[in-house]
């Protein structure tokens, strides 16, 4: 019996040593120490042992059991440790590696320019009002003093949806819509997309953006227009910026003007940027035509006002010295990131 016991113990220890998984250790425990395990079976053979020998043999079986249990426990701990070490090895982090960069988006130069324009005018107490891109001919032209057959309708290369509905060629129709609402005084800007059937080149696109401005109140004069736009130019292009107004013609304003700003590259001395003139054309403006006020339900004897229109792309191209408008529509992140 002693020999049998030694054999069982040896065999068990051999199997434990060769085990490489927790489940295998569990199987070994069951097959040796379980209810039907080999050691348990051996104990059943005790009845054949002489009574005086029994305590001794019992002690031996218990010792063997303790040794096997001890080894099983040891093997289990060793396996768990190995598993932990392997996990650590798998999850090792090299803290000296450069961090992965998240590729975040970037504001478009148009958006940056628009936000600057909005900040300036909202700071002066203007409201931002938007209008529809698909517009009635009546608002885009008629109510702005551009009657049927007026050459401006041709000039602007309009996209017609039908004879009454167009893709707006300018943001000026928002003036008429705002005046018609009848809430006075008005101090508003209206940014948005406009459309003209122009061929694409470095300075033209069939779709671009304008910001319209409109002020209507009692006693508004040309001096208010000049003061406001001069202040806008300073905030937009720098404190030393000078402005110059050249007479022009727009059907919806009288008198009308174009405003130039002193070249912010050379300060007005003349350079390649301003084509040697020292001045850069920025926007159109004028005093709202009395006929326009009347058509929009405002008494021109009681109220006057001024209006202006700025091309947003033009501002973005000038401010960031971009020489091809097409770059603004490609949305290449490598280009956009520069601003």
Measure Cα distances from 252 to 158, 270, 285, 294 in Å: 18, 33, 10, 12
> Counting contacts by CB under 6 A, is residue 286 touching ligand DAH?
yes
Strands 134-136 and 165-167: antiparallel
> Counting contacts by CB under 6 A, is residue 178 touching ligand DAH?
no
Q: Across the strands, what pairs with 167?
A: 134
Name the residue number minimizing CB distance to ligand DAH: 309
Which CB sits closer to ligand DAH, 13 or 212?
Answer: 212
CB of residue 247 to ligand DAH, shortest distance in Å: 13
CB of residue 308 to ligand DAH, shortest distance in Å: 5
Query: How crowded is the C-beta side of 149, counted as CA atoms within 13 Å?
Result: 0
Residue 256 · residue 222 · CB < 8 Å: no
Q: What whole-number distance in Å separates Cα of residue 213 and Cα of residue 327?
A: 27
Q: Which stretch binds ligand DAH (CB under 6 A): 85-93, 123-131, 263-271, 278-286?
A: 278-286
Tokens in use for 173? 């129709």
Length of the chain measured in residues: 339
> Counting contacts by CB under 6 A, is residue 170 touching ligand DAH?
yes
Which CB sits closer to ligand DAH, 131 or 284?
Answer: 284
CB of residue 318 to ligand DAH, shortest distance in Å: 17
Which CB sits closer to ligand DAH, 15 or 137?
Answer: 137
Of 253, 315, 317, 336, the residue at the interface with ligand DAH (CB under 6 A) is: 253
Q: Across the strands, what pairs with 309?
A: 212, 284
Measure Cα distances from 261 to 230, 235, 284, 321 in Å: 9, 12, 12, 15
CB of residue 184 to ligand DAH, shortest distance in Å: 18
> Counting contacts by CB under 6 A, is residue 309 touching ligand DAH?
yes
Residues binding ligand DAH (CB under 6 A): 170, 172, 212, 250, 253, 284-286, 307-309
């Amino acid at each position: 019996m002693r020999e049998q016991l030694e054999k069982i113990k040896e065999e068990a220890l051999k199997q434990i040593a060769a085990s490489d998984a927790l489940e295998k250790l569990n199987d070994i425990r069951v097959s040796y120490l379980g209810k039907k395990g080999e050691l348990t079976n051996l104990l059943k053979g005790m009845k054949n042992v002489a009574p005086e020998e029994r305590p001794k043999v019992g002690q031996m079986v218990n010792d063997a059991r303790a040794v096997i249990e001890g080894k099983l426990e040891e093997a289990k701990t060793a396996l768990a440790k190995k598993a932990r070490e392997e996990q650590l090895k798998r999850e090792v982090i090299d803290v000296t590696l450069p961090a992965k960069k998240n590729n975040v988006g970037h504001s478009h130069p148009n958006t940056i320019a628009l936000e600057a324009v909005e900040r300036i005018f909202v700071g002066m107490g203007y409201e931002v009002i938007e209008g529809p891109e698909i517009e009635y001919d009546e608002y885009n032209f008629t109510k702005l003093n551009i009657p049927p057959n007026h050459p401006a309708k041709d000039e602007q290369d309009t996209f017609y949806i039908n004879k009454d509905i167009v893709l707006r060629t300018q943001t000026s129709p928002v003036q008429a819509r705002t005046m018609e609402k009848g809430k006075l005084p008005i101090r508003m800007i209206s940014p948005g997309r406009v459309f003209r059937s122009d061929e694409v080149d470095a300075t033209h696109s069939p779709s671009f953006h304008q910001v319209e401005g409109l002020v209507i109140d009692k006693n508004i004069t040309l001096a208010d227009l000049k003061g406001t736009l001069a202040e806008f130019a300073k905030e937009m292009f720098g404190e030393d910026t000078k402005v110059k107004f050249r007479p022009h013609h727009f059907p919806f304003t009288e008198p009308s003007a174009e405003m130039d700003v002193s070249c912010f590259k050379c300060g007005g001395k003349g350079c390649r940027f301003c084509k040697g003139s020292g001045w850069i054309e920025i926007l159109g403006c004028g005093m709202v035509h009395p006929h326009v006020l009347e058509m929009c339900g405002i008494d021109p004897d009681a109220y006057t006002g001024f209006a202006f229109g700025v091309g947003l792309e033009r501002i973005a191209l000038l401010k960031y010295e971009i020489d091809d408008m097409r770059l603004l529509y490609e949305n290449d992140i490598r280009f956009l990131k520069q601003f």
